[in-house]
Amino acid sequence: MKKSLFSLAFVALFSVAATTTVSAQTKKMLGTVMVGGAAMYPTKNIVENAVNSKDHTTLVAAVKAAGLVETLESAGPFTVFAPTNEAFNKLPAGTVETLVKPENKATLTKILTYHVVAGRMTSADLMKAIKDGKGTATLKTVSGGTLTAMMKGKAIELKDEKGGISTVTIADVMQSNGVIHVVNTVLMPK
């Protein structure tokens, strides 16, 4: 009888220890968001995190081709609306391949910086701006253009200058130099 009580106590103690270990790991991961199969750490900058996302390989290649790596590694802060590979795949065939050519660097840079707003705007900040604007908020992009933010149900949507709509699919991916909101469509300036 004593042996089975000891075994039961050991199992209970082991369960508590395992729960504590999982709890500690969970606490360590607090603040991280999974994007493209990789943890996005709030202690890393936008580029350091983005290069690990399998869903953003096209965006990372475009940022490198446009020479924007150093900028997006700087102190910022920046709010980046980051299109996924699927978002880039929605563009007409050959568009990405054409844009990453050296002779199209200015156009590529304009498109990429159109996805960036100076400052750190969380989803709560965006929703407040939309509410304050009675349903829409105008965001000035780093490229000099504007995006219109609005709500569709509980989702934040962005309307570009050509009338295209993109939805935030993962919000508030915090970075050391800003915040990333993953979007499902490439936003296009005029």
Higher pLDDT among residues 81 and 178, named by residue: 81
pTM for this one? 0.81
Tokens at 189, concatenated:
């300036």
Whole-angstrom CA distances from 25 to 13, 44, 63 are 18, 19, 33
Bridge pairing between strands 178-183 and 78-83: parallel
Tokens at 156, concatenated:
């934040």
Tokens at 145, concatenated:
């253009």
Tokens at 15, concatenated:
């369960």
Mean pLDDT confidence for 81-108: 90
pLDDT digits (tens, 9 = 90+) for 138-151: 999 999 999 999 99
Nearest-angstrom CA–CA distance, 8 and 123: 48
pLDDT at 161 over 90: yes
Nearest-angstrom CA–CA distance, 20 and 105: 52
Counting residues of the chain whose pLDDT is more than 70, the rounded percentage is 84
**Beta carbons within 10 angstroms of residue 49's beta carbon:** 26
Nearest-angstrom CA–CA distance, 189 and 75: 25
Tokens at 63, concatenated:
């940022």
